[in-house]
A and B are shown apart, each in its own frame.
Chain A
Amino acid sequence: ELKVEQNPLFLSMQEGKNYTIYCNYSTTSDRLYWYRQDPGKSLESLFVLLSNGAVKQEGRLMASLDTKARLSTLHITAAVHDLSATYFCAVFGGSNYKLTFGKGTLLTVNP
């Protein structure tokens, strides 16, 4: 059974600071996704990582994938309040295109 673990689950940071969210998964997979969810809203796709060593960046967020270590990171650079949200990583495992999600990281960026 595929397990996906995110840490930290709660992250409170100041504007302007840097931090990293980690996503570990338990079985081999070469497809990993990051989603963002604002309170009361649906999930919005942020990044798709489809191979070992993949790196994607958009604005202050950068995601990377190390399939050998079964680890993805979401790095936040110079955080701003607008980045406050819950971030999920999700991994494809097994057949039939099933995504398994981590529990999410609630990010709060304080002025």
Chain B
Amino acid sequence: DAGITQSPRHKVTETGTPVTLRCHQTENHRYMYWYRQDPGHGLRLIHYSYGVKDTDKGEVSDGYSVSRSKTEDFLLTLESATSSQTSVYFCAISVEVQPGNDGYTFGSGTRLTVV
């Protein structure tokens, strides 16, 4: 996806370990988001950022923290991974909405398995 990169793409980790996922953008957008996708739930917002050091919680933020020390990077940390956090995580960036704009651009996703 143009301008937005997630890493790693796949990760297997053990219960109780901390895990950090990275989202990197090259387009200097202000808004960045972390979603998780699970069967039957669609995409649910975990945390979002509206600028450097400006972050807020989404609907499923328990067990997650985020940091944004630079415009281009938005990090999602699972403080102590649990099996319920096995999911596909998507990062997204948002351009200011203009007519014809497509809202969000999504990264390729990170498939996380907690064993």
Binding site for B on A (CB under 8 A): 31, 33, 41-43, 45, 48, 50, 88, 90, 92, 96-104
Contact = CB atoms under 8 A, between A and B. Distances in A.
B40 A103 contact: yes
B103 A33 contact: yes
Interface stretch (B11-19, B60-68, B74-82, B94-102): B94-102
A45 B104 contact: yes
B1 A96 contact: no
Contacts of A50: 97, 99
A99 B103 contact: yes
A42 B42 contact: no
A43 B42 contact: no
Given A88-B42, A101-B42, A101-B43, A45 B108 contact: no
Contacts of A102: 42
A33 B102 contact: yes
Nearest to A48: B102
A85 to B, nearest CB: 14
B86 to A, nearest CB: 16
Interface string B32-44: 0101000011111
